[in-house]
Homo-oligomer: A and B are copies of this chain.
Amino acid sequence: MAVVGIGPGGGKSLSIEAKQILLNSEVIIGYKTYIQLIEDLITEQQVISSSMKQELDRCQEALKLAKEGKQVAIVSSGDPGVYGMAGVVLELNEDPDLPVEIVPGTTAATGAASSLGAPLMHDFTVISLSDLLTPWQQIIKKLKAVASTDFVVVLYNPKSSQRREQIEIAREIFLEYRSPQTPVGLVSNNYRQGEKTVITTLEEFTNCDIDMSTTVVIGNDQSYVKFEKMITPRGYQL
């Protein structure tokens, strides 16, 4: 079986490898929004879609069908190894002889970065602000460590309808170490219909629209904006 990353938005953001594997699958399993992103690749394959928060069920079903001999692909948006399904499938698999292939894709960090310009040209960090599976105090400790050492920081899952405070706390932590004018980029619905890109500042960014489809990129001390693009220099003498 394969755990397949479909890039930020399916379609042209898919890798050639991912496309080939999906076309050759007998069963494709995934969250219904992800299935919609690859629906032009679906012809004869059986599709099993489900709602969010049924991740474990999807993985168990995929493993069961694979053990029965089916060619199964379970899809994740972005890269399946970054807060996706790759880890859960490997953790749940109890058969050492069942081959599980992880097929990488463009993850939200680099997809969003490409829409903003080139904010990730220097050392960077990826942090999820969701405290569903991680204690909030651990997340705060990580935010402080990277805010104080000039990493560019990409925040996944910045905010949801139930969870609105974390992004404000993250902003306050960064303001302790960085200028209020530090560039911050926001990308919502990357590579999907209604993609929206905003380049603003550390001081202002939480006044902008942010939801679960938004990726937040906080620049380092060197980041700047030029011709409406966000750039973190790498240090070449230009």
- Which residues of A pack against B, CB within 8 Å? 5, 7, 11-17, 19-20, 55-56, 79-84, 86-93, 96, 100, 102-107, 110-111, 113-115, 117-128, 133-134, 138-139, 141-142, 145-146, 148-151, 226-227, 229, 231-236, 238
Q: Write out the residue numbers on chain B whose beta carbons fall within 8 Å of the beta carbon of A19.
A: 16
Rounded to whole angstroms, the CA-CA distance of A115 and B102 in the bound complex is: 7
Q: How many copies does the complex hold?
A: 2
Chain B's nearest CB lies how many Å from the CB of A13?
6
Q: Write out the residue numbers on chain B whose beta carbons fall within 8 Å of the beta carbon of A234.
A: 83, 87-88, 133
Q: Which of B107, B113, B148 contacts A110 (CB 8 A)?
A: B107
Rounded to whole angstroms, the CA-CA distance of A226 and B115 in the bound complex is: 37
Q: Write out the residue numbers on chain B whose beta carbons fall within 8 Å of the beta carbon of A5.
A: 106, 110
Rounded to whole angstroms, the CA-CA distance of A236 and B91 in the bound complex is: 10
Given the known interface contacts A93-B227, A133-B234, the answer about A110 and B79 at a Cβ–Cβ threshold of 8 Å is yes
Rounded to whole angstroms, the CA-CA distance of A115 and B104 in the bound complex is: 9
Chain A interface secondary structure, helix, strand, loop or mixed?
mixed
Given the known interface contacts A88-B234, A104-B110, A236-B133, the answer about A142 and B123 at a Cβ–Cβ threshold of 8 Å is yes
Q: Write out the residue numbers on chain B whose beta carbons fall within 8 Å of the beta carbon of A11.
A: 16
B92 touching A238, Cβ below 8 Å = yes
Nearest CB in chain B to that of A190: its residue: B104
Rounded to whole angstroms, the CA-CA distance of A169 and B114 in the bound complex is: 33
A16 touching B14, Cβ below 8 Å = yes
Rounded to whole angstroms, the CA-CA distance of A227 and B121 in the bound complex is: 35
A232 touching B15, Cβ below 8 Å = no
Chain B's nearest CB lies how many Å from the CB of A40?
11
Rounded to whole angstroms, the CA-CA distance of A106 and B56 in the bound complex is: 26
Q: Write out the residue numbers on chain B whose beta carbons fall within 8 Å of the beta carbon of A12.
A: 15-17, 20
Rounded to whole angstroms, the CA-CA distance of A111 and B93 in the bound complex is: 21
Nearest CB in chain B to that of A149: its residue: B145
Q: Which of B82, B114, B118, B142 contacts A121 (CB 8 A)?
A: B82
Sample (13) of A-B pairs whose CB atoms are under 8 Å apart: A13-B104, A16-B19, A79-B106, A84-B121, A86-B114, A88-B238, A91-B231, A93-B227, A100-B229, A107-B110, A123-B139, A133-B234, A142-B149
Q: Which of B84, B89, B119, B123 contacts A126 (CB 8 A)?
A: B123
